[in-house]
Chain A
């Protein structure tokens, strides 16, 4: 009896602490719902690509493309003309990063869905 009471009290504390930790970590993310933001893949150009591209649009627009290096070159140059901040010294590396991660040979992109609202 005593042992069971102790166990359930400890269990309740563990649950409460985990819920608190989870909530505070979620609140720390600028109140953006979890799962909404997608990231660009890791690599030497990840940070610069994030700054250059995701200022105007989100990562999914890039993640879903499957383009040749020639097509990525045109996209990078078009977007630079449209305001993407790309240091000329970084242009080739950015094209390389996008072509390596999002080339025609990569498996198809799997999109997410929005939650159901009609029952």
Chain B
């Protein structure tokens, strides 16, 4: 779309909104005009890729990955169920029970008195990149943008658990949210091991980038399990239960499990040959230039982001010759333990032509992005070397 048609479309919208105001029918006319642009009105969400409207699943275009913190209206949204139809902060209570000495019921005010700790965390859906798997697998067909980075704040989960007094029998911590379950779908309940729950960076987050959580991100409180798959960080949290074993339910098994050994694409995997997903893996994504872009030679800035769950990014390398030569990208100065690193690489193509730009991250644990995707039946943790195709004139 060129600038002129964009401007004339804006002008058209402006004119039609003026006419509509006069006629007293602004909302429906504006909605109609927007639908003609194949754009769906969605309050407080900014130009997100619509994977699903009901339930709400929104993906960030990769072009947004140019800031260390992702603004909330540009942060991906993943829901397994309907969002709670009613969220009353005053009536909200958090139950803490199970294998504890003293079960607790906390109001939001009581929770806020338990201290505030902040963690800058890159949150990624385990299914991010699923649409790139071959053969294709069922699930939300995420492209590359079910990931974002935000500063999450709230009391430490460990402090809340300490107040309740975890018994020696407590080995796992279960989260239940207020998602509304349709039909006979199993409720979205998962658990994490007690060690991760007691880690000083695991939070009951009430804030995101300095503001109270929005509804789509789990208002008034969510678990925040840093460095782990997004599904660990249960939204609209209402119950924390300490268990003597891992929670048994659909979203622990068969959901969110990964094969113990590599499998051939398309092969079935037995449940006993799988383990629950925990931390994210090493990955980089190219934010610019965009796939399919036509560029002028001279200096081209290739840029993007890279993350590694609980590990740190050691380096990001760029290849423009099909992976024969790799050149180090410059890592951005903003960093935090569980957060992505922005990176950039100044590229000066020597001649015009079609190029594939590839990015490959390596982390502090020595993990490197693979050249081919690690296929698995649910398409989790896609992290193959990223690439975009561009034309240089």
Contact = CB atoms under 8 A, between A and B. Distances in A.
B12 interface: no
A65 B73 contact: no
By size class, the interface of chain A is 35 or more
Interface string A31-68: 00111111000000000000000011110110011111
B41 A113 contact: no
A35 B35 contact: yes
Interface string A79-95: 00111100000000000
Contacts of A116: 39, 46-47
B138 A58 contact: no
A68 B48 CA distance: 29
A36 B136 CA distance: 26
Contacts of A115: 34, 39-42, 47
A111 B50 contact: yes
Contacts of A26: 28, 31-32
B45 interface: yes
Contact of A111 (B43, B49, B135): B49
Interface string B126-158: 000001000111101100000000000000000
B183 A27 contact: no
Interface in B54-113: 54-55, 58-59, 61, 71, 73-74
Nearest to A83: B183
A58 B140 CA distance: 12
Contacts of A83: 182-185
B264 interface: no
Contact of A114 (B58, B131, B138, B141): B58
Nearest to B141: A64
A11 interface: no
A77 interface: no
Given A67-B136, A82-B184, A112-B39, A117 B141 contact: no
Contacts of B7: none
Nearest to B24: A23
Most buried by B among A23, A38, A67: A23
Nearest to A58: B54
B55 to A, nearest CB: 6
Contact of A113 (B28, B40, B136): B40
A117 B52 CA distance: 19
Contact of B40 (A19, A36, A57): A36
B82 to A, nearest CB: 9
A58 B58 CA distance: 14
A113 B47 contact: yes
Contacts of B137: 67, 71
A20 B245 CA distance: 63
Nearest to B55: A57
Interface string B353-380: 0000000000000000000000000000
Nearest to A103: B136
B53 to A, nearest CB: 5
Nearest to B45: A114
Contacts of A118: 46-47, 71, 73-74
A64 B39 CA distance: 17
Nearest to B34: A115
Contacts of A60: 50-53
Contacts of B19: 19
A109 interface: yes
Contact of B50 (A33, A55, A56, A113): A113
Given A82-B185, A112-B38, A36 B47 contact: no
A26 to B, nearest CB: 4
Contacts of B1: none
In the A-B complex, the 10 residue pairs with the closest CB atoms: A83-B183, A35-B35, A114-B42, A56-B182, A83-B184, A34-B35, A64-B141, A58-B54, A26-B28, A116-B47
Given A19-B29, A117-B43, 10 more contacts: A16-B23, A34-B35, A37-B53, A38-B53, A65-B138, A83-B184, A83-B185, A104-B135, A113-B47, A115-B34
Interface of A: 16, 19, 22-23, 26-27, 33-38, 55-58, 60-61, 64-68, 71, 74-75, 81-84, 104, 108-109, 111-118
Interface of B: 19, 23, 25, 28-29, 31-32, 34-35, 38-55, 58-59, 61, 71, 73-74, 131, 135-138, 140-141, 182-186
24 contacts: A19-B23, A33-B31, A33-B41, A34-B32, A35-B39, A35-B40, A36-B40, A37-B53, A56-B185, A57-B54, A61-B52, A64-B51, A64-B131, A66-B136, A68-B135, A71-B137, A82-B186, A83-B184, A112-B50, A113-B49, A113-B61, A117-B45, A118-B46, A118-B47
